[in-house]
Amino acid sequence: MIPLRQKHTRHVPDTTLPLINIVLLLVLAFMIAGVIETPLPAEFEPVQANSETGSSSETAPLSLVITQTGEVLIDSEQVKVSDLHELFKMSSEQEMHLSIKADSRAPAADVIGVLAKAEDAGIKKAVVMTIGADK
């Protein structure tokens, strides 16, 4: 006697594989896009502020870093303080503003000197980036 119906084992496709592929592609995309800014020097301690007011700007700032020894870095490259006036002059012609990330151990005279050079070159907006003080 032959059965009327034969048992067929249906292959059920695994639905988790496409999901795993999408997640891995997203992880890869975030790893590639993860570094947006140039990294700060090692052992960098930013200045802390008690004020919670911020600044917003429409143009991209000229960003520089002042290390604890007073060195001025732009895009992780050291710049001579004597060359800053010409650099600031070009930035003021493009109506850019200045963003300074100063190490909390940097000499205040160096930070003020950079701000004075920026003002002499005609830069209208200058911001010293800080982090909020722990309360």
Summarised one tens digit per residue, pLDDT across range 45-89 is 777 766 655 555 455 678 889 988 888 888 888 888 888 888 887
Report yes or no on 40 lying in a domain.
no
Global confidence as pTM: 0.56
For 12-27, what is the mean pLDDT?
Answer: 89
Number of domains in the chain: 1
DSSP assignment string, 34-48: ---SPPPPTT--BPE
Handedness of CA 56, 58, 60, 64 (dihedral sign): negative
126 beta partners? 98
| Residue 26 confidence class, pLDDT cut points 50, 70, 90 | very high
Dist. CA 66–CA 84, nearest whole Å: 13
Give the CATH number, domain containing residue 109: 3.30.420.270
Report yes or no on 88 lying in a domain.
yes
Please check whether residue 92 is in contact with residue 64, taking contact to mean a CB–CB distance below 8 angstroms. Answer: no
Provide the domain limits for residue 92: 48-52+59-132
Report yes or no on 120 lying in a domain.
yes
